[in-house]
Amino acid sequence: MGFIHVTDRQGQRHSLEALEGWRVMEIIRDWSLPIEGICGGAAECGTCHVFIHPDWVGKLFPPREEELLQLDELPVVETNSRLSCQILWSEELDGLELTLAPQV
């Protein structure tokens, strides 16, 4: 077990306990933070869009083409944008920091 640190849309930081193998979107949602994940993790809706802290961007595996295509459809995208449904939490990601993107 470890933690991810999520800054919500109001700027409040939350430290969430994370379990190996869970999608980051699921962790955020299960701790009742406002993230939708309407497509259930299929990278088809963009409602789990987050901004990864710059210190962590290079520690994640690169996004696949499906994720990049969905990110291209969002109104606000940064170089550190990711779909949290496409990131599986593991011990190597203990301490991951991210910010919830504006709602679609």
Model pTM score? 0.94
- For residue 37, the model assigns a pLDDT of 87
Cα-Cα-Cα-Cα dihedral sign, residues 49, 34, 100, 84: negative
The CA-based dihedral angle spanning residues 84, 85, 88, 91, taken in that order and rounded to the nearest 10 degrees: 40
What the chain holds in terms of domains, given with CATH numbers, is 2-100 (3.10.20.30)
- Residue by residue, pLDDT tens for the chain (104 residues) are 899 999 999 999 999 999 999 999 999 999 999 998 888 888 989 999 999 999 999 999 999 999 999 999 999 999 999 999 999 999 999 999 999 999 86
Which pLDDT does position 89 carry in this prediction? 95
Instruction: Name the residue among 104, 77, 102, 96 with its Cα closest to residue 8.
Output: 102
What does each C-alpha distance from 74 to 11, 13, 95, 104 come to in angstroms?
21, 24, 27, 7
